[in-house]
Structure 1
Amino acid sequence: MPIEIKPQTPANLDKQQENAWKKNISFFNSKKISFKDRIFLFQQIQLLLQTGTPLYAGLSALRKQIEKPAVKELLTDLVSTIDEGKSFSFALSKYPNIFTSTQINLISASEEGGFMAEVLQQILDMEERREKLRNTLISAVSYPCFLAFFSLAVVVFILTVVFPKFAALFAKIHDTLPITTKSLMWLSESLTNHWMMILGAVAGILLLISRWFASEVGKIVVDKFKLSFPVIKTVFTQVYLVQSLRVMSLSLGNGVSVMDTLADCKNTVQNKLYQNFLHDVELKVQEGSGMSSGFAQAEFVPPLVKQMITTGEETGNLPIVMEKIANHYEAELLKYLQTLSKLAEPIMLLLMGGLVGIIVSSLILPIFSLSRAVH
């Protein structure tokens, strides 16, 4: 999804710097940079650094070959900021809607250690895995949703086009019609004669539902549902674990502080309950109990994960352990989603066939009954 650029002012700029900074980047407000643009930038910068090209010279050369205006303007500002003596991570931090706090903190740590090319490759690998998981989730639900909408379209077509042609015939034998046929006749008449009212009511209901989902109460209810409802719970628990543990592994392994790492994780996982869990882990770390104590209190974290986190903390191999856990649950999640997708297809086809069958039988059976009565 394209990301709208809304730069924020760094806290440590004085008033004169702030005004100049705002002037330099005011033209970004109407521009957009996509996920692919961001990945392309990281790929090109990583390649330049691997070949020994200085960062400033590499960004300047990259700016000349870019054609997309938004990306070119972004590179122009990055080059200008570095030319002022600021760090690359500082330049990126001016655009929190493009570059995540995880990416910025990792690049900041790599600048101090002199291993930015390696960190950029790790960031690219993480983004590639995340995109693959996202695409798998979308594909797992897209086909069942398509079948559901197709079934609804077929039902509406039968009720609004086919049923009205038999309305006069069924009116003569209304008392002898099955209850299903009577119900469908009433529904057909309502859809045909009052479709504008029904459409308005549906639109109003959808608007209210969307506003409720956007409210704080709605978000909390949905987040609880994701971590408590069977089947759904398995998917989202593993998604959140994979996302957060991979960020933790990468950040801690490259020297980012524990508190900054946990803050990055809260920005990565979009679930209030999981963010509260990460906040509890932060409190445990501040108390000196360690991350394993925070994980041990979470009900939705599998016991195996709790034990491995404890072991990793005791042995000093926490980043490696977290990476192994993330890889394991990512593989399990991909298999689980593939299984759900395969199961959903026949179930949806069966439901669709049953629904259409009921409607067609409600239409045909009265005609057969009338035919026998005539003979």
Structure 2
Amino acid sequence: MATFRYQGRDLEGQKVSGLVDAATQELAAESLMAKGIIPISIKAGKENSESSFEWKSLLTPAVPLEVYVIFCRQMYSLTKAGIPLLRAIRSLIADASNKQLKQALQEVANELTNGRSLSASMQLHSSVFSPLFVSMIAVGENTGRLDQALLQLSHYYEQELETRKRIKTAMRYPVLVISFITVAMFVLNLKVIPQFASMFNRFQVELPLPTRILIGTSNFFVEYWTLLLAVMVGCLFAFQAWVSRADGREQWDKIRLRIPVVGDIVNRAQLARFSRTFSLMLQSGVPLNNSLALSAEAMDNKYLEARLLEMKSAIEAGSSVSGAARNTGIFTPLVQQMISVGEETGRVDELLLEVADFYDREVDYDLKTLTARIEPILLVIVAGMVLILALGIFLPMWGMLDAIQG
């Protein structure tokens, strides 16, 4: 997402300026107009501060989802009880445990004192409050249902938190096994195999091919471990540089969706997130085009985000929602059918919510059975390592035993 510097006028005719985060200039203009600002000029943000911002964002941890859930719940209770907004914000500042959120709320309170709206104040802190969050707050303010918008946001973040916990739980076992295998390979090549190699050299026995391969690999590790470490670090930095580019990130996200076993789960989890976010936007009264743009920004996949923005452009060009969704090639037949039926009946938001629940149940089941599907692959890898080590170590020992007996 790019940062644009804008100048414009608000509904009262006053000059306003600032920064707005959006994928394109058109989306930046739509975001400003949705907040009651008529843009006069929109230019890309300062490029000289881009690198420092990236380093700062890398070093600054993101606000945990648990913090958003608690914040939305507390704000919902305070606003529903009729407590004034500024007083509610200040009471939450005193109880906030997250430093980023606390600092952002303090500045939001200052902006509220100056007469700025809550959504406009939160928009100034894009690192804490996402465009989805700000748009929901703006809809709640404009419709007089801020408490309901906060309640919907709390449900959304609770669902996201539950999904992430399930994914982490399912991936814990494979990650641990692969980590132990990697550590074992380094220990064997650096410590164990050299001891056997020195013993084999003393007996002057002709070594079989598996043993020569093991010793050669171990010697390479011992002599060039610093080079290997440098290559690994260099590959990591090269990968980060490639992913930081827009085209590289889009290609990597496309590859993620094609990974065997895991890619299908990631795809369905992303479709569930899109369906839930899109339904949430439509239920809140956000226009269709803005709902698609915000749903695209909420996706944690640049490839899917680009396809959704293409879908938005096709709808603006006059295509139907179902036709544009079909042409993207990213939606399953179930989502396409639900969108088509919802377009005919005027209940797209309700049907998409059912789609999100369906995919959440499927993802939950797949995550529960993920370990069972990955275990055979891990067993084959471990068995292959044990077989190579056994052949490489025991074959020459049998040869030495024959030599001693002979």
Query: Normalising by structure 1, what TM-score?
Result: 0.86
Aligned to 2:281: 251
Q: Quickly say closer, same or farther: Cα 1:64–1:137, change in 2 above 3 A.
A: closer
Whether the 8 Å CA contact 1:159–1:187 is kept in 2: the answer is yes
Aligned to 2:199: 169
Q: Quickly say closer, same or farther: Cα 1:67–1:302, change in 2 above 3 A.
A: closer
Which of 178, 191, 200 aligns to 1:148? It is: 178
Aligned to 1:280: 310
Residues 63-102 of structure 1 aligned to structure 2 (within 5 Å): 63-66=93-96, 70-102=100-132
Aligned to 2:140: 110
Distance 1:253 1:66 in 2: 30
Q: Quickly say closer, same or farther: Cα 1:253–1:238, change in 2 above 3 A.
A: same
Aligned to 1:34: 63
Distance 2:204 2:280 in 1: 71
Whether the 8 Å CA contact 1:237–1:301 is kept in 2: the answer is no
Aligned to 1:332: 362
Whether the 8 Å CA contact 1:89–1:104 is kept in 2: the answer is yes
Select between 68-77 and 264-273 the one with higher mean Cα deviation: 68-77
Distance 2:8 2:115 in 1: 14
Distance 2:176 2:191 in 1: 22
Post-superposition Cα deviations, 1:217-261, rounded to whole Å, max 9, x if no partner, equal 432332232344543441232122111111110010110111111
Distance 1:272 1:93 in 2: 22
2:299 pairs with 1:269: yes
Distance 2:290 2:16 in 1: 29
Select between 129-138 and 227-236 the one with higher mean Cα deviation: 227-236
Aligned to 1:341: 371
Whether the 8 Å CA contact 1:10–1:94 is kept in 2: the answer is no
Could you tell me which amino acid in structure 2 is paired with residue 313 of structure 1?
E
Distance 2:80 2:94 in 1: 20
Could you tell me which amino acid in structure 2 is paired with residue 306 of structure 1?
Q
Distance 1:52 1:344 in 2: 52
Aligned to 1:297: 327
Q: Quickly say closer, same or farther: Cα 1:332–1:156, change in 2 above 3 A.
A: same
Higher strand proportion: 2
RMSD between superposed Cα atoms in Å: 2.9
- 1:176 match: secondary structure: coil
Shift of 1:317: 0.6
Q: Quickly say closer, same or farther: Cα 1:136–1:280, change in 2 above 3 A.
A: same
Distance 2:144 2:5 in 1: 27
Q: Quickly say closer, same or farther: Cα 1:66–1:156, change in 2 above 3 A.
A: closer
- 1:152 match: secondary structure: helix
Q: Quickly say closer, same or farther: Cα 1:72–1:130, change in 2 above 3 A.
A: closer
Shift of 1:371: 0.9
Q: Quickly say closer, same or farther: Cα 1:95–1:352, change in 2 above 3 A.
A: same
Whether the 8 Å CA contact 1:8–1:95 is kept in 2: the answer is no
Could you tell me which amino acid in structure 2 is paired with residue 108 of structure 1?
A
Select between 280-289 and 208-217 the one with higher mean Cα deviation: 208-217
2:199 pairs with 1:198: no
Shift of 1:195: 2.4
Could you tell me which amino acid in structure 1 is paired with residue 68 of structure 2?
R
Aligned to 1:21: none
Select between 107-116 and 36-45 the one with higher mean Cα deviation: 36-45
Higher helix proportion: 1
> Of the two structures, which has the highest relative contact order with CA contacts closer than 8 Å and spacing of 6 or more?
1
Distance 1:8 1:51 in 2: 38
Distance 1:46 1:261 in 2: 23
Whether the 8 Å CA contact 1:277–1:294 is kept in 2: the answer is no
Whether the 8 Å CA contact 1:296–1:306 is kept in 2: the answer is yes
Aligned to 1:223: 253
Aligned to 1:123: 153
Aligned to 2:25: none
Could you tell me which amino acid in structure 1 is paired with residue 371 of structure 2?
S
Query: Normalising by structure 2, what TM-score?
Result: 0.80
Aligned to 1:22: none
Distance 1:333 1:264 in 2: 23
Q: Quickly say closer, same or farther: Cα 1:285–1:81, change in 2 above 3 A.
A: same
Distance 1:261 1:17 in 2: 25
Q: Quickly say closer, same or farther: Cα 1:258–1:174, change in 2 above 3 A.
A: farther
Distance 2:124 2:240 in 1: 32
Aligned to 1:4: none
Could you tell me which amino acid in structure 2 is paired with residue 48 of structure 1?
L
Gap runs ≥5 in structure 2: 19-55
Distance 2:329 2:270 in 1: 14
Distance 1:55 1:31 in 2: 28
Residues 5-84 of structure 1 aligned to structure 2 (within 5 Å): 11-12=7-8, 34-35=63-64, 36-66=66-96, 70-84=100-114
Could you tell me which amino acid in structure 2 is paired with residue 361 of structure 1?
L
Distance 1:11 1:130 in 2: 35
Q: What percent identity do the matched residue pairs reach?
A: 24
Q: Quickly say closer, same or farther: Cα 1:65–1:182, change in 2 above 3 A.
A: closer
Whether the 8 Å CA contact 2:205–2:399 is kept in 1: the answer is no
Post-superposition Cα deviations, 1:264-288, rounded to whole Å, max 9, x if no partner, equal 1121113333123212221232133
Shift of 1:69: 5.1
Select between 187-196 and 329-338 the one with higher mean Cα deviation: 187-196
Distance 2:62 2:249 in 1: 27
Whether the 8 Å CA contact 1:31–1:70 is kept in 2: the answer is no
Whether the 8 Å CA contact 2:104–2:128 is kept in 1: the answer is no
2:390 pairs with 1:363: no
Distance 2:205 2:364 in 1: 55
